[in-house]
Amino acid sequence: MKSSDAELSHLVAQIALKDGDAFRAVYEKTSPKLFGVCLRILKDREDAQDALQEVYVKIWRNAQRFAGSNVGPMPWLCAIARNHAIDVLRARRPASDSLEEGAQQFPDDAPDPESTAVIKGEGRRIDRCMQELDPQRAEAVKSAYVEGLSYQELAKRHAVPLNTMRTWLRRSLLSLRECMER
């Protein structure tokens, strides 16, 4: 576990013990990221700000659940933000008049077996192509596009200038595209 993850995990554990200072520290470290998650889903700054407040209430109330999860602290916090923002969107929709109408609103989007096999094959190809990248750059790509870290956060984590990080990501994505086209 990285030191920032370990620190954040410790702070969330302290929140479970109702430590206000730890809560403030978690807010300071994570609010820009969690606000971004809410804003991407809700598409309205005011709604995202309201949702973010509720997200932190949920974090305060449910911090003890983090200890039992096998997830890192940032993905756990992002999941809370994402799920709450989705709940806000669902609450905006009018209730359907019938069960059948409700079922039509939420079609079964589960992939069929053939699609699942294709997705797994693509995943293996992506993994193979990621292994062709320099390990430090592969880690930066994963952090950017899986964890959602900003260029600024990545530059700080890898101790490189901001423009260098942008170049790393752009070139890495080009390399991945070339590899995937083979």
Question: Per CATH, is 113-181 categorized as 3.30.930.10?
Answer: no
Q: Which of 1, 154, 9 is nearest to 74 (CA)?
A: 9
Cα distance between residue 87 and residue 99, in whole Å: 19
In this prediction, residue 106 has a pLDDT band, given cuts at 50, 70 and 90, of low
Query: Which is it for the CA torsion 140, 143, 148, 152, positive or negative?
Result: negative
Whether 108 has a pLDDT exceeding 70, the answer reads no
Total-model pTM: 0.51
pLDDT digits (tens, 9 = 90+) for 13-62: 899 899 999 999 999 999 999 999 999 999 999 999 999 999 999 999 98
Quote the pLDDT of residue 77: 92
Residue ranges, comma separated, of all CATH 1.10.1740.10 domains in the chain are 3-92
pLDDT surpassing 70 at residue 182: yes
Q: Identify the architecture of domain 3-92 in CATH.
A: Orthogonal Bundle (1.10)
Report residue 133 as tokens.
Answer: 């990248």
Q: Where in the chain is the domain with CATH 1.10.10.10?
A: 113-181
135-145 vs 113-132: helix crossing angle, rounded to 10:
140
Q: Give 61-104 pLDDT, tens digit per residue.
A: 988 888 767 788 899 999 999 999 999 989 887 655 555 555 55
Element (DSSP H or E) covering residue 60: helix 45-67
Least confident span in 5-9, 47-51, 155-159: 5-9
